[in-house]
Structures are given as structure tokens and as C-alpha cells.
Amino acid sequence: MEVRNGAEEIDYLEKGLLSRAPEDEDESVLYRASFEESQENFVKYQTARWILCSLLLVLAWGIGLFMLLYIPVRRYILRKDILSRKLHLTHDAIVYKVVRPVTFPCFGVLKKEKHVLLHSVADIVIEQGYMQSLFGVYSVRIENIGIRRPPSDDVQIQGVANPNAFKRAVLTRLSNMRNEAFSRQVSMIEDAPNSLMSYPSAAYISPSPRSFQHLGDHIILQKLEEVSSSVKRVRSLVEERHPKTSEPID
């Protein structure tokens, strides 16, 4: 139940981030990642993968021939995709946006927007496979905290021009957030004794002379009642030991 509540809380906060106004979001941007420098390498890398898959399918069923004819459209979609990508860091989240054409561009585009709360970020991993290393393409994977989200929900982004700078910016912001939280906890601990010491003095009310007078009258009455009851007990004991005897009448 606790894991589900944590995930539901993060989803609710992400929806709140998605509903923010764009101008407010731009004002809070701390770092913007770039994709333009790696545009050509990204298109070449994806095209090479497409050609390899096409050749395999040509040998298998012949469908790869249509895939080879589709390469110009594929390159156009890839170029539009990489140029539309936006990845930036705000005070409380990592925002990723992309607008890519569909398989047949005449049918419109697909929009994707993802907000990852910094409180749920465990690490930023930079990956590069064998083919990616041939074309100089990097992948950035945002790892989520495992106790709240499964590893399959990690966000993976290809084509970031300077992934190390983006990673440093995110880790620096996370470190600052932890330091701020620690400072708040220390200040709360330091303020706690002062508040406890000031509470009795503020809660104490000096008694008035009238209250002292009422208290003295009450004590005197209580003492008188105790003396009266003691006298009654002594009288009853005396009467029990020396009972009265009636004298004869001459």
C-alpha cells in the first residue's frame, strides 16, 4: 500500500506539472540540453539500423524491399524528430518534449511530453552501444527510485549532444535539494528547544490577590470542618465510656 501511495503521489504531482503555463515553465529552466549538434550522427545511426533490418527482411520475406524504398521518408521523420526534441531541467523536475511525424507524415504528428520529478530520480546513466559508438550517438537514461517505480519505467533519450553536462546539472540540483532539506531539518531541531522553553513562560499566568484570598478562605473552612468532626468523635467516645445514670428521687 505504501509503494502504491508513493507512485500515485508522484503521478499526481506530474499531472500538476503538465498543467503549468509554458511561460512559468520557461522562467524556471535551469539547464537546456541540445540535440542540434548530434542531428546528423543520429540520422545516420538510425538509417544504418533501418537498412540492416531491411536487408534481413529482404532475405526472409521480401518485405525489406519496401523498407528500402521508404528510407527517404524515414530520414525526413528522423530529422523532424531530433529537431523537435526539448530536454531541460527545472527547479523540481526534468522535462522532455518531442513532436514527431507519424509513419506517413501526411496524417499528422505525435506529441509526447514527460515530466520526471527530481525527488524520484535515482541517477542519470549515459549509455552507448557498439553501433552508437560508430556514429558518436549517446543515450541518456533517467533511473527512477526502485521503491516507487519499476525499472521499466525509466526514461531513455537518444541523441543528446552533451550528456555529461546534462548529468552534472541534474546531480548538482539534486545535491542542492538535499542540502536545503538537511538545513531545514537542522534549523527545526535547533528551534525546538527554544520553543519548548518559551511555551511555559507564555502559558504561565500570575495569580491575582483575589485568587489568593479565595484560596485562603477555602483552606480555613476546610480546617474548621476537620476540627468540628474531631470534636464530635471525641464527644461520642466520652459518652460511650461514661454513660449517664439516672438518680433516684427521694
Higher per-residue pLDDT: 215 or 170: 170
pLDDT digits (tens, 9 = 90+) for 167-200: 999 999 999 988 888 888 888 887 766 665 655 5
Kindly tell me the number of DSSP H helices and DSSP E strands found in the chain.
8, 7
- Indicate the number of domains in the chain: 1
3-state secondary structure of 180: helix
Residue 233 covered by a domain:
no
Report the residue count for the chain.
250
Residue 218 covered by a domain:
no
Residue 172 covered by a domain:
yes
Residue 100 covered by a domain:
yes
Residue 42: its H or E element: helix 39-60
- Tell me which residue range forms the domain holding 140: 2-190
- In this structure, what CATH number is given to the domain that contains residue 35? 2.30.29.30
Residue 209 covered by a domain:
no
Given a cut of 90, whether residue 231 has pLDDT beyond it is no
Beta bridge pairs of residue 101: 109
Provide the pLDDT for residue 23.
46
Residue 74: count of CB within 10 angstroms of its CB: 18
Provide the pLDDT for residue 244.
52
Provide the pLDDT for residue 194.
62
Q: Rg of the chain over CA atoms, in angstroms?
A: 41
